[in-house]
Amino acid sequence: MNQEIFKDNWELIVGLEVHTELATKTKLFCGCLNQFGNEPNTNVCPVCLGLPGSLPVVNETAVYFAMQLGRALHCSVNRSVFARKNYFYPDMPKDYQISQYDLPTNLEGYLELPSGETIGIERAHIEEDTGKTTHIGTSGRISGADYSLVDYNRAGVPLIEIVSKPEIRTIEQAKAYVSELRGIILALEISDAKMEEGSIRVDANVSVREIGENDLRTRCEIKNVNSLKSLGRAIEYEANRHIGLYKNGESPRQETRHWDENAGRTRSGRSKEDAEDYRYFPEPDLVPLNPSEETITKIDQEMPELPSKRREKLANQTGVKPSDVALLVERNHDVFALDVIERGGLPDQVVKHLVNNLSAGLGELTAESLAQLVQMENKSEITSTQAKKMLGELVQRGGTPAELATELGFEAIETNEIENLVDQLINEHSDEWERFCSGDTKVQGFFVGQVMKATSGQADGKLINQILNERSTSK
């Protein structure tokens, strides 16, 4: 992997832990509804409340989703064992979390970024989510709170935790990683993955080292990053903090830090040194999961079209730059684009229109209409300015370009008509024309404007300029 310089002679090392809530009907170990936004403590039962004597039963769909994600990330799907992660906290009803430890469902995969770079994936395992605590007090955090409230609706919701290898080297890569992972999750339809709702959460492990070093230095885990923008800011802040410490002859402590969005900085949280011993052991109330070869084959065969495949398809049809292709796939306009191209729209031009003029959405515009529009533009039946205006109308109210052109009175203004107009203007504005001929380019806008005025904006700007230049050189 190329060594990228983050700052001066320092290299940025980032690993991301992404948690995604699965969109199953019910929770991971009980039949309670898996739903966001209900009244607190209404989707609960003895199992997810951890009442004495309750026992977990695995949700098959959650496991299937996990294996699908694993295969989409090129992981090996393995026999897995649930494990208890023991620690005390009010949002965990059993005071242990049922997760996976040394035998997770998915191991050793990779994620391909739109740029073509790949980031290694260490593992993707299944675990249950905790409840949600709200601390009532001045800081909104547990220290200094007057009292706290716990909502267990979320306790027991299935999560997949995807752990990347520390191979991310730039902030752009970090953001692209999360975006692409989210794109894959959405394509699989296993989660709605919304950062604002917490159905996808990102923790960043950040460290730095000098270019040329082989070993990794101390890292800090950053939590409470709630958007891609925050992710970038948090990584940048933390990396700079580490560099600052090293330059001072100090070094960062290995710890978990909390990203403060308002203050734009990270703050010390739990120290990872006197870190909890989670006393992991195999969950005695559950049997190991042992997916069959047939199941894994079925998953591979049923794999939907992932973003990378969609980008490849569109890139094969056009010659535009990769970022435009990625943009269309992200906006879900790639299928539409391919449709337009198939109907005869010139590929690069189709993409140009979609990227530049249709970011707000397609509305009533049909693929056939866009194809016709592009063809009309190519045959110079309409100018690009006219095309843009027509697009706006087609999006708003549909119809066909041919009808619309007639309705709007768009006709191509003949070349000799423009030539006549230009000659007329030259006669009427000899001073300005002198200035233009002697190199005053500012006055060009005046002439173009006058022609446009005379033709009610229908003339082709390119053509006007061409004629102006011809006239000035021939005189």
- Minimal CA–CA distance to 126: which of 197, 49, 70? 70
Judged by CB under 8 A, which stretch of 161-169, 259-267, 281-289, 379-387 contacts other proteins?
A: 281-289
Spatial distance between the Cα atoms of 342 and 360, rounded to a whole number of angstroms? 23
What is the rounded CA–CA span in Å between residue 109 and residue 111? 7
Q: At 280, phi and psi to the nearest 5?
A: -60, 135
Tell me the C-alpha distance between 452 and 458, whole Å: 7
Closer residue to other proteins (CB): 148 or 406: 148
SS3 assignment, position 263: coil
Between the CA atoms of 30, 124, 323 and 346, what dihedral angle is there, to the nearest 10 degrees? Answer: -60
Would you give the distance in Å from CA 94 to the centre of its chain? 35
* Binding residue for other proteins, selected from 1, 5, 51, 211, defined by CB under 8 A: 51
**Contact in structure between 436 and 472 (CB atoms under 8 Å):** yes
Closer residue to other proteins in complex, CB, 36/280: 280
If one asks whether residue 433 binds other proteins (CB under 8 A), the answer comes out as no
* Structure tokens given for 125: 């395992």
CB of 157 to other proteins, least distance (A): 18
Q: Phi and psi at residue 172, in whole multiples of 5°?
A: -60, -40
Q: Which of 36, 40, 45, 90 binds other proteins (CB under 8 A)?
A: 90
- Answer yes or no whether residue 284 interacts with other proteins by CB under 8 A: yes
Residue 182 backbone phi and psi in degrees, to 5: -60, -40
Return the range that interacts with other proteins (CB under 8 A); candidates 66-74, 93-101, 310-318, 415-423: 93-101
Q: Which of 15, 70, 93, 345 binds other proteins (CB under 8 A)?
A: 93
**Among the candidate windows 207-215, 253-261, 279-287, 310-318, which touches other proteins by CB under 8 A?**
279-287
Two tokens, residue 42: 């209404």
Residue 152 DSSP code: G
Please, what is the minimum distance in Å from the beta carbon of residue 283 to other proteins? 9
Q: Which CB sits closer to other proteins, 96 or 410?
A: 96
Q: Between residue 143 and residue 172, which ones bind other proteins under the rule CB under 8 A?
A: 150
Total residues contacting other proteins by CB under 8 A comes to 20
Q: Per-residue string for binding with other proteins, 58-87, x by CB under 8 A?
A: --------------------------x-x-
Q: Based on CB atoms, which residue is closest to other proteins, 279 or 462?
A: 279
Q: Are 81 and 288 in contact (CB under 8 A)?
A: yes
Q: Is 279 in the site for other proteins (CB under 8 A)?
A: yes
Enumerate residues 126-145 that contact other proteins by CB under 8 A.
142
Query: Which position among 1, 244, 260, 281 is part of the footprint of other proteins (CB under 8 A)?
Result: 281
Q: Is 282 in the site for other proteins (CB under 8 A)?
A: yes
From the number of C-beta atoms within 10 Å of its C-beta (0-12, 13-18, 19+), residue 88 rates as exposed
Binding residues vs other proteins (CB under 8 A) = 49-52, 84, 86, 88, 90, 93-96, 142, 150, 277, 279-282, 284
